[in-house]
Amino acid sequence: MTTPSPPATGRPPVVDRATWQAARDELLVREKAHTRAGDALAAARRRLPMVEVDGSAEVTGADGPVPFREVFAGRDELVAYHSMWFDGAPPQGQCEGCTFNLWHLRDTVYLQARGVSFAVLTSGRWAEVAPYRDFMGYTQPWFSVRGAEESIGTVEGHIECYLRDGDRVFLTYETTGRGNEPADGTLGLLDMTPYGRREGWQDDPEGWPAAPEVGAPVGGHGAPICWYWRSGPDGAGRWGPTTRPVPQWTRPGATPVADLGRQGGH
């Protein structure tokens, strides 16, 4: 084994392969323990009780109003993401955090293969939601649940899991805080990189690059947390009226704007 050479500023130390492998193996023990702890949590999650919700509550999708139970598309399990909505706002003014989450959930064929449906719920009016869905290129089913939120137990920005038993519907689980992260593969990959997510709360080695400085907070989010959710036309992550949720720059016709058009949520 060799003595680590002094690293360049903001770089891990340079060692030989044997030294690196020893450190990697030591971390692997902790990673395996973390995996087993996650398995134990999933087992406990499967043992949670459930609460009945109103399967007849009316929601509105591409085919018009339907009872909530029809969102299951004939399957017994449903995973739903409730996307936040700002009434009257154009695409660039809609929630960047929900855009981030939903961009990772554009294809849920593997859920369907296990008998689980997926749908996006939102409290926006369908007349506004439909063109937004088209602009984003989303192919997942979306439903307006305005007025039915309490009846079906859904909360903006959360993932909810439901179980159907005939015409009866039950809420079995919902996320809170950072509970959406299992759906966001980008975050897991960033956590493997030397600089991680580059967010202000990270526990970084001394000398590591600081989280990027960004503009004034928008929508109640504080800089520099999640700075990469929204960017300008130059691709630089920042907040502001001329920025868009990052994936929107890939959409035809997306241009810089001067106003997010936000008048508050529903």
Cβ proximity of 102 and 118 under 8 Å? no
Greatest mean pLDDT range, 168-172, 195-199, 244-248, 260-264? 168-172
Name the DSSP class of 143: E
Mean pLDDT value across residues 177-183: 93
Task: Enter the tokens of residue 96.
Answer: 């960047």
The tens digit of pLDDT for each residue in 30-63 reads 999 999 999 999 999 999 999 999 999 999 999 9
The tens digit of pLDDT for each residue in 125-138 reads 999 999 999 999 99
Q: Which is more confidently placed, 84 or 262?
A: 84
DSSP SS3 for 117: strand
The size of the chain, in residues, is 266
Q: How confident is the model at residue 187 (pLDDT cuts 50, 70, 90)?
A: very high
Does the model's pTM come out above 0.95? no
> For residue 187, which phi and psi values (nearest 5 degrees)?
-65, -40
> For residue 65, which phi and psi values (nearest 5 degrees)?
-65, 135
Q: How confident is the model at residue 5 (pLDDT cuts 50, 70, 90)?
A: low
Q: Give 52's strand partners.
A: 170
Tell me: pLDDT of 224 over 70: no
CATH architecture of 51-178: 3-Layer(aba) Sandwich (3.40)
> Where along the chain do its domains lie?
51-178, 190-199+211-259
Residue 102 CA to residue 122 CA, distance in Å, equals 12
Residues above pLDDT 90, as percent of the chain: 75
Residue 13 CA to residue 201 CA, distance in Å, equals 23
Name the DSSP class of 221: P
| Lowest-pLDDT choice from 45-54, 147-156, 223-232 | 223-232
DSSP characters over 4-63:
PBPPPTTSPPB--HHHHHHHHHHHHHHHHHHHHHHHHHHHHHTT---EEE-TT-EEEETT
The one-letter code for the residue type at 259 is D
Instruction: Please work out, in degrees rounded to the nearest 5, the angle formed at the alpha carbon of residue 204 by the alpha carbons of 198 and 208.
Output: 75
Tell me: pLDDT of 90 over 90: yes
